[in-house]
């Protein structure tokens, strides 16, 4: 029986000696002499770096913002942005409605910063949402706010009475 154990131990040692020590893989070594062995992703934003400038407001940006908002924001903020998402209905603390005066007056930069850094019980989404998508969500939040507080005067005269 000891011969079997000795043989198994010997085979295990030989097998382990053949494993790669993982030191030869290409990887980032920030403090090493070769600072960049692996390619850096194009959309990588270093911690505490300057945020991406806001992109031009387009229909495509708003559509992307709506898509990302539905994925990341509706569980707490709801489709309407009133702070009554499904997570809140199950007992999680309610976030403020996007339709209160304070947030209707907030700039898109404010929403970008909250998504990036978190605020109150909301944690940072910087590791989940890319900078361009943060701007898209901020633009969509602004459109969502306007859609809930639109008046007839906001509609161009030529489009009044026209139902698509």
Q: Enter the CATH code of domain 62-72+99-150.
A: 1.10.760.10
Residues 157, 160, 161, 162: what is their CA dihedral angle, to the nearest 10 degrees? 100
Q: What is the pTM of this model?
A: 0.66
Closest to 27 in 3D by CA, of 19, 37, 35, 17: 37
Cα(162)–Cα(157) distance, integer angstroms: 10
164 residues of the chain, pLDDT tens digit each: 678 888 888 777 776 666 555 666 666 556 655 555 566 666 666 655 565 788 999 999 999 999 999 999 999 999 999 999 999 999 999 999 999 999 999 999 999 999 999 999 999 999 999 999 999 999 999 999 998 888 888 778 887 776 66
* Coil, strand or helix at 102: helix
Cα(97)–Cα(12) distance, integer angstroms: 61
Domain ranges, ordered by start, for the chain: 62-72+99-150
Cα(117)–Cα(125) distance, integer angstroms: 7
């Amino acid at each position: 029986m000891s011969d079997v154990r000795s043989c198994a131990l010997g085979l295990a040692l030989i097998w382990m000696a053949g494993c790669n020590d993982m030191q030869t893989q290409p990887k980032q070594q920030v403090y090493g002499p070769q600072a960049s062995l692996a390619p850096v992703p194009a959309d990588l934003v270093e911690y505490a770096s300057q945020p991406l400038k806001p992109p031009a407001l387009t229909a495509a940006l708003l559509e992307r913002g709506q898509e990302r908002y539905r994925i990341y924001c509706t569980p707490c903020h709801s489709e309407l942005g009133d702070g009554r998402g499904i997570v809140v209905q199950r007992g999680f603390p309610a976030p403020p409605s996007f339709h209160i005066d304070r947030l209707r007056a907030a700039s898109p930069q404010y929403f970008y910063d909250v998504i990036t850094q978190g605020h109150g019980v909301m944690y940072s989404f910087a590791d989940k949402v890319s900078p361009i998508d943060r701007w898209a969500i901020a633009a969509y939040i602004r459109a969502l706010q306007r859609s809930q507080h639109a008046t007839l005067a906001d509609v161009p005269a030529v489009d009044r009475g026209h139902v698509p």
